[in-house]
Homo-oligomer: A and B are copies of this chain.
Amino acid sequence: MSERTAICPGSYDPVTNGHLDIIGRTSRVFDRVIVAVVGQGIRKSTTMFTADERRDFLVDATGGLANVEIEIFTNLLVDFARERRATAIVKGLRAISDFEYELEMNQLNRKLAPELESVYFFASPDYSFLRSTGVKEMATFGGDVSDLVPAPVAEALHRRARR
């Protein structure tokens, strides 16, 4: 038995309880989990939080899981996964639109790195409606997001909304 490492990539802008559910479930199926935060990309200004802020929210929220690490990556995902000797990339699927997007990414990644597997979890029904974008919109309109994201994220969103 060799160590099984999974990569959970995403923007995490910001992390939601839905992301944490997938990360937690991955940590029970694999030996080691690297949550890979997309750093500065080609569409430079589109995130609400900086890569460092997004990573720090994740570090804080996954503190109780011994086999989970958080890293920022700035290269191609398949190159990052190879450097970390990952067994698999792990993604959550909520809806048909996710399915199609992920299928496309999957086939592109297989072309680039045939030896790297991608595996998928279905989002829990409790979180299948949850997108970072929706959370940010709700917070902007003064909605209560404390059930949807970790407490420090909720506070940060409300501070920004008040501006």
Q: Is A42 an interface residue (CB 8 A)?
A: yes
Determine the main DSSP class of A at the interface with B.
Answer: mixed
Chain B residues with CB under 8 A of A106 = 122, 129
Interface size of A in residues (CB-CB distance below 8 Å): 52
Task: Count identical subunits in the complex.
Answer: 6
Given the known interface contacts A42-B140, A96-B96, A119-B119, the answer about A29 and B111 at a Cβ–Cβ threshold of 8 Å is no
Say which residue of B76, B117, B130 sits within 8 Å of A138 (CB atoms). Answer: B76
Seen from chain A, the residues whose Cβ lies within 8 Å of a Cβ on chain B are 1, 3-4, 25, 28-31, 42, 75-76, 87-88, 93, 95-97, 99-100, 102-108, 110-112, 117-122, 124-126, 128-131, 134, 137-138, 140-144, 147-148
